[in-house]
Amino acid sequence: MDKETEIIVKDFTSVLDELTFNSRPIITTLTKIAEENISCAQYFVDALESRIEKCMPSQKLYAFYALDSICKNAGSPYTIYFSRNLFSLYRKTYLLVDNVTRTKLINMFKTWMTPNETTGGSLPLFERGALERIEQFLIKASALHQKNFQSMLPTPTVPLLLREIDKLAGLTNERLRDQPNDQKLQTKLMVLSQLKQELQRGKLSLDALKQVQLQLTEVFAQDQQVLQERVRYQQFQQEQQLKQRERSTTTSSLEPTETPMPLGTNNSPSPLFNGSVSSLFGNVSRIVTPEDFAEMEKASKLTSIQTLFHSLNGAGLIFTPPKESIVTLFDKIDSTNKLNSKKAKNNNLPSISFLQDVVSNCKAYFATANVNILNTPTLQLSQQNIVNDNPVVTKSLIHLLYRNKPNKCSTCGKRFGNSIEERKLQTAHLDWHFRINKRIKGSSTTNAQTNAMTSQKNIQSRNWYLHDSQWVKFNDDEIVSTQNTFNENPKQTIADVDQQKYASGSNGSSTATNIQMSNFEDMLSLNKNDANNSTSETADLSKKYVIVPESTEDMTFQCPVCKDSVTSVYDEELGEWIWKNTVIINGKKFHSTCYYETIKNNSSL
């Protein structure tokens, strides 16, 4: 390698080392270097191959993207050089990465198979042999995946399948109750009963049983999807009802008949979804659970129930009826009843972790019942007190930070106590989360007639810091108050950039701050007029354009807000020259996004 080549290759590898994230600029740079220095092709190929081999799995895809870009743009000899090791590189990478990346790798591979311009438009990007091997590999990989899935199903036996058919029939019946006229469902029920008869005759081979099993799994998955969708729809309906009810309580004078009634008979979620799904047809993770693992889990559950029982008992929380009590007598007499009721009780038992929480919370309550920080001399700050073990702290005070407030917010982990005041705080806190989440997700309103959703995203930016004189008077209650969220409260303190006159450097090129609210409204109404599919406010803003008038001599203008020059582009669909992302307000042209932001900002100041 001569000096010059060495420098170029070094340059290339150092840029390549930066490729630790999916960066278009870096990939473009690499491609450019590769295009301009064909003489170094072999070195670049070596460097890129070793990068793919050696970098972290999560970064391999980006290196592949660089390879892809170089080959698609520079073509030969890169395509020839890379073809040599392409299969083994691809295969190794595929095996190491997660499923999302695998999909991306497959998508990239698909583009290699289509004839490419750099190869004259008639051939795939790489040598056919290499591509075929990758294709074979991918087919195998997915087949193997399928096989693996099958092998995880339990060996089908007639009784097992019969049971599953019954379940499936039950499900179908349930759906039929909601849609009594659905022909397909009725047919399905018939097929199921025929299948059942066939199985009961017991003439089917194991292979045939397996076929049946697979098919049932598939049908079940479909049914589950339908039902899930229905539940989702019901939840949505209920939310809407809730909202309406909220509204109706504030407006108060709504007639009771207008209060929407819960939908249908299926108001409570079907039992299928409360976790007790059948062994075969549960979600995939249930299917794969090997039996011995289930045993282990059972055993560990049993021990934790036992420990739980002992600690509950120790805390005096378990009521044991005395021998001579009516309860014990009754149990002895009615032994069958006892068996049944035991089963029922088991089903309604809350989860172990919940019960453990209850026990620990009780302990914490008792541990902190009689402590008083002020009357604890060992809390006096001194070297001795801090470094010595202090049982008051470790046995009782520590609970003040945790379980003394037993109600933990399921969103942020903040704790609340049991007093009435704390309960109120908690309710306000949860309401606040609810409102904030709604705003973060974007307020969605549904148009009843078209069922079209329009949403407004929570677009936000960092605020300026307060001036020292504002900060010293600021009170954080303004932030942490759960009564209002930012922007709902117009009095929120924000930076007073008072002398911010936006003094434009010269001859009135900036009219930004002179724009009044009325113009803003003009713009919004304009927005409604020409945009017929308004989905997102900002997306619309940047989609706005202005057709360059024929009389215009200057095809570019300067946006008065950001000072960028905007050049017109030819729009194929319109057959016109346009300025993208542009609005004309009072004869002045702005970036429509800039204009909107400035308005929004000014109105909030």
Partner 1 sequence: MSLLPGLTDSNQATDLFVDANEVHKLVLKEETEWKVEIPSSSKLTITIRSGIAEIFGTELANDVEYTFSNWKISLSAVENVILEWKCPDIPNKDLMIEPNTTSKYVYNLHFGLEKMRNSSFNGPRILVVGNANSGKTTLCRTLCSYAIKFKSYQPLFINLNPHEGIFSPPGCLTATPISDILDVQSQTWGQSMTSGATELHSKQPIVKNFGLENISENRSLYWDNMNQLSNAVNERLQNDVIVQRSGCILNTPSLSDLDEEFNELVTIIDRFKVNIVVVLAEQDEFTLFEKVKETLRPYIGDFLIRLPKLSGRFEADDAYKRSLQRTAIKEYFYGTPKTILSPYASGADFEEITVWKPINMVEAQGTTSTSNPLQLLPVTVDASTLQHALVAISYADRKSSSSEVQKASILGFGLITEVNEKKRKIRILLPVPGRLPNKAMILTSYRYLE
Nearest-angstrom CA–CA distance, 580 and 544: 7
Q: Does 349 bind partner 1 (CB under 8 A)?
A: no
DSSP string, 341-383: HHHHHHHHPPPHHHHHHHHHHHHHHHHTTT--GGG-GGGS--H
Q: Toward partner 1, which CB reaches closer, 31 or 361?
A: 361
Q: Which of residues 43-72 bind partner 1 (CB under 8 A)?
A: 56-59
- Binding piece for partner 1, criterion CB under 8 A, among 27-35, 69-77, 117-125, 562-570: 562-570
What does the block give as tokens for 110?
A: 């698909």
What does the block give as tokens for 188?
A: 């399905």
Decide: 556 and 567 in contact? Cβ < 8 Å. yes
Question: What are φ and ψ of residue 250, in 5° steps?
Answer: -75, -40
Q: Which of residues 355-374 bind partner 1 (CB under 8 A)?
A: 356, 360, 373-374
Q: Which of residues 489-528 bind partner 1 (CB under 8 A)?
A: 494-495, 497, 499-503, 505, 510, 512
Q: Which does 465 bind (CB under 5 to 8 A by kind): Zn ion, partner 1, none?
A: partner 1
Nearest-angstrom CA–CA distance, 52 and 195: 53
Q: Which of residues 382-421 bind Zn ion (CB under 5 A)?
A: 409, 411-412, 414
Q: Does 400 bind partner 1 (CB under 8 A)?
A: yes
Nearest-angstrom CA–CA distance, 338 and 345: 10
Question: What are φ and ψ of residue 398, in 5° steps?
Answer: -50, -30
Q: Toward partner 1, which CB reaches closer, 100 or 448?
A: 100
Q: Which does 326 bind (CB under 5 to 8 A by kind): Zn ion, partner 1, none?
A: none
Type of residue at 13: T
Q: Does 385 bind partner 1 (CB under 8 A)?
A: yes
Out of 541, 561, 583, 585, point to the residue binding Zn ion (CB under 5 A). 561
Q: Does 591 bind Zn ion (CB under 5 A)?
A: yes
- The site that binds partner 1 (CB under 8 A) totals a number of residues, namely 105
Q: Which does 591 bind (CB under 5 to 8 A by kind): Zn ion, partner 1, none?
A: Zn ion
Q: Which of residues 199-218 bind partner 1 (CB under 8 A)?
A: none
What is the 3-state secondary structure of 77-112?
Answer: CHHHHHHHHHHHHHHHHHHHCCHHHHHHHHHHHHHH
Question: What are φ and ψ of residue 488, in 5° steps?
Answer: -80, -20
Q: How far is the CB of 386 from partner 1 (least distance, A)?
A: 5
Half-sphere exposure of 588 (CA within 13 A, CB side): 17
Out of 370, 469, 518, 532, point to the residue binding partner 1 (CB under 8 A). 469
Q: Does 577 bind partner 1 (CB under 8 A)?
A: no
Q: Does 145 bind partner 1 (CB under 8 A)?
A: yes
Nearest-angstrom CA–CA distance, 520 and 448: 28
DSSP state letter for 392:
I
Task: Go through 475-510 and write b for each residue having 16 or more CB atoms within 10 A of its CB, e for each that does not.
Answer: eeeeeeebeeeeeeeeeeeeeeeeeeeeeeeeeeeb
Q: Toward Zn ion, which CB reaches closer, 116 or 598?
A: 598
- Binding piece for partner 1, criterion CB under 8 A, among 41-49, 103-111, 212-220, 387-395: 387-395
Decide: 535 and 455 in contact? Cβ < 8 Å. yes
Q: Does 310 bind partner 1 (CB under 8 A)?
A: no
Q: Toward Zn ion, which CB reaches closer, 81 or 579?
A: 579
Binding letters toward partner 1, positions 440-459, x by CB under 8 A: x-----------------xx
Q: Which does 405 bind (CB under 5 to 8 A by kind): partner 1, Zn ion, none?
A: partner 1
Q: Does 440 bind Zn ion (CB under 5 A)?
A: no
Q: Which of residues 414-433 bind partner 1 (CB under 8 A)?
A: 414-415
Q: Does 536 bind partner 1 (CB under 8 A)?
A: no
Q: Which does 528 bind (CB under 5 to 8 A by kind): Zn ion, partner 1, none?
A: none
Type of residue at 135: E
Q: Toward partner 1, which CB reaches closer, 308 or 547?
A: 308
- Kindly state the helix (H) or strand (E) to which residue 557 belongs, with its residue range: strand 556-558
- Binding piece for partner 1, criterion CB under 8 A, among 182-190, 246-254, 339-347, 479-487: 479-487
Q: Does 559 bind Zn ion (CB under 5 A)?
A: yes
- Binding piece for partner 1, criterion CB under 8 A, among 63-71, 98-106, 115-123, 446-454: 98-106
Half-sphere exposure of 401 (CA within 13 A, CB side): 6
Type of residue at 188: K
Nearest-angstrom CA–CA distance, 47 and 211: 50
| Contacting positions for Zn ion (CB under 5 A) | 409, 411-412, 414, 559, 561-562, 591, 594
